[in-house]
């Protein structure tokens, strides 16, 4: 399942082209919805003093997105480690890939501000599914 994004004026520069940092916001929203699909909300994780934070991101801009474009973010998991998840994300418009990102997120204890093992329930839910949204 793709996560739809509509480009609004606030996302663009004076020429109507999506400003480069806003692609990060689009990818962040899709990862949040990816977790929500498996019934893991940010608020519930925060209540347990757990968060997933971006540790590393590599992004490639291929073609510009523009004002009023309807885009889709495809999100997949390509790897798990003890405390990290590696996401592959692509931003699509009309069958063409506009941008790709590889995002490493770390599971952290918000009280200690240190990495922790991904909770078993989250790991099991994500590993037993097809890893895509």
Residue carrying the six token digits 């608020």: 43
Helices and strands per DSSP (H, E), number in the chain: 3, 6
Query: What is the spatial distance between Cα 123 and Cα 119, in angstroms, rounded to a whole number?
Result: 6
> Would you please indicate which residues are annotated as catalytic (active-site) residues?
13
DSSP state of 7: P
Could you tell me if residue 38 is left (phi over 0), alpha (psi between -120 and 50 degrees) or otherwise beta?
A: alpha
Cα-based distances in Å from 82 to 14, 37, 85, 107, 120: 44, 22, 8, 9, 10
* Contact criterion met (CB below 8 Å) for 2 and 74: yes
């Amino acid at each position: 399942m793709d996560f739809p994004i509509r480009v609004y004026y606030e996302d663009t520069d004076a020429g109507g082209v999506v400003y480069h940092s806003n692609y990060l916001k689009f990818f962040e929203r899709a990862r949040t919805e990816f977790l929500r699909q498996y019934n893991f909300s940010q608020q519930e994780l925060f209540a347990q003093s757990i968060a997933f934070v971006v540790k590393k991101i590599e992004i490639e801009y291929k073609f510009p997105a523009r004002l009023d474009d309807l885009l889709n973010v495809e999100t997949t998991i390509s790897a798990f480690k003890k405390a990290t998840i590696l996401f592959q994300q692509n931003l699509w418009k009309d069958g063409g890939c506009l941008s790709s990102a590889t995002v490493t997120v770390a599971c952290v204890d918000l009280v200690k501000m240190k990495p922790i093992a991904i909770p078993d329930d989250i790991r099991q839910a994500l590993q037993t599914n097809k890893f895509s949204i």
